[in-house]
Structure 1
């Protein structure tokens, strides 16, 4: 066994959290080159941390040794959401996943199809009506919020506008407290933001408990009738499912899709995606590969082990970095290029090597729902529009935390396709 490359630094003084949060991609790229290794160590959140930036290391961490590398029981997610399938370990996590999996597969998933279509139509059918460019990330975030609150809480903006607005604002307050805490360990007045988040969480929990008691339809009714381990389980999971995290992740993927296929230079790709379902699938995979919505995730080793032959002691924090994993040149040739055809060529059948929404037995339980929604929304856009940056010289660089998205608001103009073109779309 070899020692992990890099230096874990000294307590407090050697911490690299601010450098990482400011530019996680640059942070990793610099060390990948410096150490000539896609696994290295540094200090994050004042803990020695191993960074995994290879496909092989990610699969080892999340799949082959998922019973060795566990979720951090002191993670902020536990404080903000309670004991959920995202924060628990071992038998409890397995039982929760087993109980909840029926709500995200099979008949339940199919029953949501009409809802996905109707939400997309409401938000996307008038994109070109005003003749003005659209701020796409904000647009898609609103779309994702309506989808999440409709599916998981049976709340529609046109039927209960006041309640819908209240929940949306509370989810935003809750989210801001969640994302500020890791960075603000060094920032004065941190506790005030966190306190606001906890207050928002308590108000959301009151609304959720009322829905569970009085609404027996849809997802709320189904969740309330499941044999879950403890009484708070249903409400804690609903809090997780309506989190602002999900609409932001959906907005991230849809924004990346429109940006990747924007402008006259990408007209041929848009035409192929309309005409060839298999190529459309490959485009969506390539969007996930290049622009994963989440930078990665953390685990802790529950015993002495290894990652790619490097020694990892018990208690060591290990973080996989999705952006770097998806650009592993040993697996993805020309890793920085947008090449959808790779998924029917060299990388055919290798979708399981992506960690856009996690990987292995602890991957996102709603991954199929997310895929279905993204496919529905992107298909609608392709079927009805062409689009381009407006103005064309905007800054298209990305920020990667807390969710990947353009560093500055991006505006696109959408042009409705004529009737003849629409007849030839899928």
Structure 2
């Protein structure tokens, strides 16, 4: 067994958290090159931590040895969302997953398709109307917000515009609690970002509890009838499902999709006509530009990852950006090559970890796939698009959700109806 490369540092002074948060991609790449290893250690959040940047290491952490690594009970997610499936461990996590899975599969998923189609049409039909370049990330974030509030809370923007705007603003304030220092401080005329986020959470919970008590339809009605562990579990999970996490993830992936196919009319036409090719495009978008940088666990006992020792109480962080560029698995790892998913990497979708992996992976992955395919197909059928201006700085920032640091602008040109669209209207 080899020694874990790197240095765990000394408490406080040896901590590398700030360096990581400034630029997580460069942080990992420099250490991968320095240690000639895609698994290494340093001190993160004042805890010795193993960084996992290989497909093999990720699969061991999240799949084969997932029972040996726990979610951190002191994580900010617990402060912001309470005890949910994201923050729980052990038997509690398994029971929550069993209870909630039915809401994201089968007939529940099918019943959402008409609403998803209608929201995509309403939010995307006017992208070319102004004749000016569109800030696509903002447009897609609005789309994602309408989707989650309509599906999970039965609040439709076109039916209850004032309530929709109120919740959207509260969700934005709540989100800032995840990216603020956890200091709950109020003084006259000023509150810390974390304090404002906690206030927004409390206001959202009032709206959510009212919905659970009075709405028996759709997702919120089904959630309220599930055998969850306690009386607060349903409201805490609804808070998680309507939070800014999902709209931002959708906006991230849709922005990357439009950038990847910008100016490539041939690829857009092929993706519109061939559902399997669209699937490979979306897999490649997810591989190269995962919306979330990774996830963190705590070792519950001495173990190994990729042949390296990981002692009990060590942190373990998988870095999706680095895992997805593991050259042992993905040839030409930095190139956008959708065809890899019908060739050498066919059937290897489980090597991606944008939304986790293994038994603790995101339950909403199938729903996210439906969202993305519906939105992308609408764009492909109805628009040509290109970067405007053609030369823009598309360097990505990776935290808290990946997107170009300078929001890109794209010009959309409306297409004539396709033959299939015309036949649908006859």
How far 1:419 sits from its partner (Å)?
A: 3.2
- Aligned-pair Cα RMSD in Å: 1.7
Structure 2 gap segments, 5+ residues each: 185-189
How far 1:422 sits from its partner (Å)?
A: 6.5
Contact kept, 8 Å, 1:101 with 1:365, in 2: the verdict is yes
Contact kept, 8 Å, 1:386 with 1:416, in 2: the verdict is yes
2:77 corresponds to: 77
Distance 1:208 1:34, change over 3 A: same
Equivalent position SS for 1:338? coil
1:292 corresponds to: 290
Contact kept, 8 Å, 1:55 with 1:326, in 2: the verdict is yes
2:181 corresponds to: 181
How far 1:77 sits from its partner (Å)?
A: 0.7
How far 1:425 sits from its partner (Å)?
A: 12
Spell out structure 1 runs of 4+ moving beyond 2 A: 418-426
Q: Give distance in 2, aligned partners of 1:316 and 1:48.
A: 5
2:187 corresponds to: none
Q: Deviations over 1:85-104 (max 9, x none)?
A: 11001110000000000000
1:98 corresponds to: 98
Q: Give distance in 1, aligned partners of 2:124 and 2:149.
A: 18
Distance 1:420 1:371, change over 3 A: closer
2:216 corresponds to: 216
Contact kept, 8 Å, 1:80 with 1:201, in 2: the verdict is yes
Q: Give distance in 2, aligned partners of 1:130 and 1:162.
A: 25
Q: Give distance in 2, aligned partners of 1:242 and 1:296.
A: 21
Q: What is the TM-score when the length of structure 2 is the normalising length?
A: 0.96
Q: Aligned residues, how many?
A: 419
Distance 1:388 1:62, change over 3 A: same
Contact kept, 8 Å, 1:383 with 1:422, in 2: the verdict is no
Contact kept, 8 Å, 2:382 with 2:417, in 1: the verdict is no
1:278 corresponds to: 276
How far 1:142 sits from its partner (Å)?
A: 0.3
**318, 325, 328: which one pairs with 1:327?**
325
2:206 corresponds to: 206
How far 1:421 sits from its partner (Å)?
A: 7.0
2:232 corresponds to: 232
2:63 corresponds to: 63
Contact kept, 8 Å, 2:381 with 2:418, in 1: the verdict is no
Q: Deviations over 1:13-32 (max 9, x none)?
A: 11111111110000001000
Equivalent position SS for 1:181? coil
Distance 1:261 1:373, change over 3 A: same
1:5 corresponds to: 5
1:133 corresponds to: 133
How far 1:251 sits from its partner (Å)?
A: 0.3
Contact kept, 8 Å, 1:2 with 1:311, in 2: the verdict is yes
Q: Give distance in 2, aligned partners of 1:384 and 1:286.
A: 22
2:371 corresponds to: 373
Q: Deviations over 1:350-407 (max 9, x none)?
A: 0011001110000001010001100110011011111000011111110000000011
Q: What is the TM-score when the length of structure 1 is the normalising length?
A: 0.96
Distance 1:191 1:305, change over 3 A: farther
Q: Deviations over 1:190-217 (max 9, x none)?
A: 9821111111111111111011001111
2:119 corresponds to: 119
Q: Give distance in 2, aligned partners of 1:234 and 1:217.
A: 15
